[in-house]
Amino acid sequence: MAPPAGRRVGDDFVDDSDSDVSITGLDDETSRAKAKGKGKAIDRNKKDKGKAKAKEQPYAWEASYSRSWDTVQEDERGRLEGAVQDWIARGRRRRLLAPAAAIRRTIIRHLVLVLDLSSAMLDRDMRPTRFDLMLQYAREFITEWFDQNPLGQIGVVGMRGGLGERIGEMSGNPQDVLKAISERHKLEPTGEPSLQNAIEMARASMSHLPTHSSREITIIFGSLTTCDPGNIHDTLDECLKDRIRISIVALAAEMKICRDLCAKTGGVFGVALNEGHFKDLLFELIPPPAQRAVARPGAQGANLAADLMIMGFPMRLPDTSPPSLCVCHSQMKSEGFLCPRCLAKVCDVPTDCDICGLMIVSSPHLARSYHHLFPVKPYAAVMSLEETPDPSKRCHGCSVAFRDTPATMLGAAGEGMSPLGRYRCPECQNDFCTECDVFVHDVVHCCPGCGK
Ligand SMILES: [Zn+2]
Ligand SMILES: [Zn+2]
Ligand SMILES: [Zn+2]
Ligand SMILES: [Zn+2]
């Protein structure tokens, strides 16, 4: 079925039992009731424009009703396997596009997540509201970010009432960061956002960082205005000087200053078309950025040569040890970690020792960061077994039996997919099933056949 036909649904559909449809209808009505005459006119204009490029993905404000059952296609036997395969294939293709060679990446990252808490975030063009969706994605983003960047630290800054507001201190503990944005009522959107104030606040919280770590600002921006006390281009110059990388995910439309901030600092700028695209844009910022081969201001030569850096592996105190004060919170606790240089007690790793400034990491964290530097090579889809003299009967990862006859591929599912469900490691020549292929590349980051 063609998606354009499903754009407008007759009113008789709205009363249907499907909750998605009825919520959509309700949303639409409330926003229409709220919208002033001007807003309505704009809306209609955009809708007309949208029809001209009907084949493309609609913007969130264009899509009246989502008919999720139209996007899933059944095969001739009425099963959904084809749709699922297509979904996996899309993930595979994306990964094949990613560079397999080792590139230099920053693994010690410092990120300030700037959340727009202005009244523009109450807009309902993304369901349920931009604000609720942003909070939900921010939580998922933080969890995933720490999973992939165990040596990183995140701070959270909010923008509302024309001010920057510190919501969460820079921390290497995902629980601390999640807790900072967990209380929704404390983050209630109001007033105007101020890009300059928020960026200045984020910049100040990263000014003390050593040169080997990355400094990044990721802004989720729903507004179309910014209310700044001074010239924001001065702030941009300061960020360039401090080598801060700014990335922005805009929820409304592109603004010149946002584009400039990202382009000049080497970040990524994107405008979210709809809920799914918003998440994609945000999650694309999770893998560590490739290190830029530009000469640092102040340092001699290009930073292509490696710098050595000091790290300490702390000693973990058992839970039964006598309670003592920690240097980070001044709380009496039994458990904790001892800085190997000054023997100060800290609560969490990774962190910088509050006494001597040594970077304290645990060795598993360091090892987990390693896979970004040496990614597992993508497995090749096996198209036929003619060239394999003695094919294995079972998956090398999970011992599930492979099918003998090639499956018929549906539509776009053919690309990057093996009709036999076999994916071969280019190093060890072992065959893996689809699930193991995805699991190895997305979770394990190490081939079980060859250990590479
Ligand atoms: Zn503490
Ligand atoms: Zn120390
Ligand atoms: Zn398997
Ligand atoms: Zn292998």
C-alpha of residue 352 to centroid of ligand 2, in Å: 8
Question: Which tokens in the block code for residue 221?
Answer: 């921006």
Confidence grade of residue 299 (pLDDT, cut at 50, 70, 90): very low
Q: What is the pLDDT of residue 147?
A: 85
pTM of the model: 0.68
- Phi and psi dihedrals of 196, rounded to 5? -65, -45
Q: Check whether 1 has a pLDDT greater than 60.
A: no
Q: What is the pLDDT of residue 60?
A: 62
For residues 88 and 31, the answer to whether their CB atoms sit within 8 Å is no
* Average confidence score pLDDT of the chain: 78
Kind plus residue range of the DSSP H or E element containing 68: helix 68-71
- Reference 350, options 104, 106, 105, 110; nearest CA is 110
- Per residue in 77-134, pLDDT (tens digit) is 677 766 666 666 666 666 665 655 556 777 789 999 999 999 999 998 888 899 999 9
Mean pLDDT of 237-255: 93
C-alpha of residue 398 to centroid of ligand 4, in Å: 14
Mean pLDDT of 139-168: 92
Nearest ligand to the C-alpha of residue 396? 3
Q: What is the pLDDT of residue 133?
A: 94
In which residue ranges of the chain is CATH 3.40.50.410 found? 97-283
In which residue ranges of the chain is CATH 3.30.40.10 found? 376-452
Question: Which tokens in the block code for residue 386?
Answer: 């003619």
Q: In CATH, what is the architecture of 376-452?
A: 2-Layer Sandwich (3.30)
C-alpha of residue 178 to centroid of ligand 2, in Å: 26
CATH number belonging to the domain at 97-283, selected among 3.30.70.270, 3.40.50.300, 3.40.50.410, 3.40.50.20? 3.40.50.410
- Per residue in 310-366, pLDDT (tens digit) is 889 999 998 888 999 999 888 898 889 999 999 999 988 888 888 998 888 888 788
What's the gap between Cα 10 and its chain centre?
37
pLDDT > 70: percent of the chain:
71
In angstroms, the Cα distances linking 184 to 110, 132, 254 are: 24, 9, 27
C-alpha of residue 431 to centroid of ligand 4, in Å: 9
Confidence grade of residue 53 (pLDDT, cut at 50, 70, 90): very low
Nearest ligand to the C-alpha of residue 354? 2
C-alpha of residue 115 to centroid of ligand 1, in Å: 27
C-alpha of residue 449 to centroid of ligand 3, in Å: 12
What is the SS3 assignment for 345? Answer: strand
C-alpha of residue 435 to centroid of ligand 3, in Å: 6
Nearest ligand to the C-alpha of residue 360? 2
Max mean pLDDT range (1-15, 46-60, 184-198, 371-385): 184-198
For residues 109 and 213, the answer to whether their CB atoms sit within 8 Å is yes
- Per residue in 199-222, pLDDT (tens digit) is 999 999 988 877 777 899 999 999
User: What is the DSSP pairing of strand 423-424 with strand 380-381?
Assistant: antiparallel
Nearest ligand to the C-alpha of residue 348? 1
C-alpha of residue 315 to centroid of ligand 2, in Å: 12
C-alpha of residue 260 to centroid of ligand 4, in Å: 43
C-alpha of residue 317 to centroid of ligand 1, in Å: 13
